């Protein structure tokens, strides 16, 4: 085999394995809802499959995702918002019964053998912090950037004075 082809194959495998690594999993409360932010690298052109689960009393409960089958009891309370580098799970009406170990697991479609990356966070209702409104701005900065550009354009055209 040509060494150049071997190196190209190795680099593509390494790139795909990095393309789905979970970098952080955080939990916070929005009103009475639990929010889990699963941040990850996204260097792959392949689809990233995901699964959010809760382990309580040594039993795994799949909440949402494309890897496992979500349990019926959670389907009406869970929503997932997918962005390029983050998946956000919201569990409505979070109670003490929902406490446990939450896991975000990612897997790139079409890889053989599958490369799996996950992170786990312990969630106790009494220890949860309120979600910070500023972090929502940081997570989705495209509209903020557009606003700043618009303001400078309006100022340049003398529509507003700052």
User: What is the reported pTM?
Assistant: 0.69
Q: Average of pLDDT values for 19-45?
A: 86
Q: Average of pLDDT values for 22-28?
A: 90
Which of 136, 123, 120 minimizes the C-alpha distance to 86? 136
Point out which residues pair with 104 in neighbouring strands. Answer: 52, 119
What's the pLDDT score for residue 157?
Answer: 65
Point out which residues pair with 105 in neighbouring strands. Answer: 51, 118
Spatial contact of 117 and 20, defined as CB atoms under 8 Å apart? yes
pLDDT at residue 7 tops 50: no
Measured from the Cβ of residue 36, the count of other Cβ atoms closer than 10 Å reads: 23
pLDDT at residue 141 tops 90: no
pLDDT at residue 154 tops 80: no
Spatial contact of 140 and 89, defined as CB atoms under 8 Å apart? no
Query: Cα–Cα distance between 99 and 56 in angstroms, integer?
Result: 7
Q: What's the mean per-residue pLDDT of the chain?
A: 77
Decide which of 18 and 35 is more confident. Answer: 35
Structure tokens that stand for 70 in this block:
């979500």
Q: Average of pLDDT values for 30-52?
A: 87
What's the pLDDT score for residue 22?
Answer: 85
């Amino acid at each position: 085999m040509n060494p150049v082809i071997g190196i190209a194959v190795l680099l593509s495998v390494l790139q795909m394995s990095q393309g789905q690594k979970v970098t952080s999993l955080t939990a916070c409360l929005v009103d009475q809802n639990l929010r889990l932010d699963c941040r990850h690298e996204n260097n792959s052109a392949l689809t990233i499959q995901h699964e959010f689960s809760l382990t309580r009393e040594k039993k795994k409960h799949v909440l949402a995702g494309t890897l496992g089958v979500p349990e019926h009891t959670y389907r009406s309370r869970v929503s997932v918002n997918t962005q390029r580098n983050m998946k956000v799970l919201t569990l409505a009406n979070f109670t003490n019964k929902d406490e446990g170990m939450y896991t975000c697991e990612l897997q790139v479609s079409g890889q053989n053998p599958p490369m799996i990356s996950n992170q786990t966070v312990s969630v106790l209702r009494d220890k949860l912090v309120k979600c910070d409104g500023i972090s929502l701005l940081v997570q989705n900065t495209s509209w903020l950037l557009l606003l700043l550009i618009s303001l400078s354009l309006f100022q340049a055209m003398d529509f507003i004075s700052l």
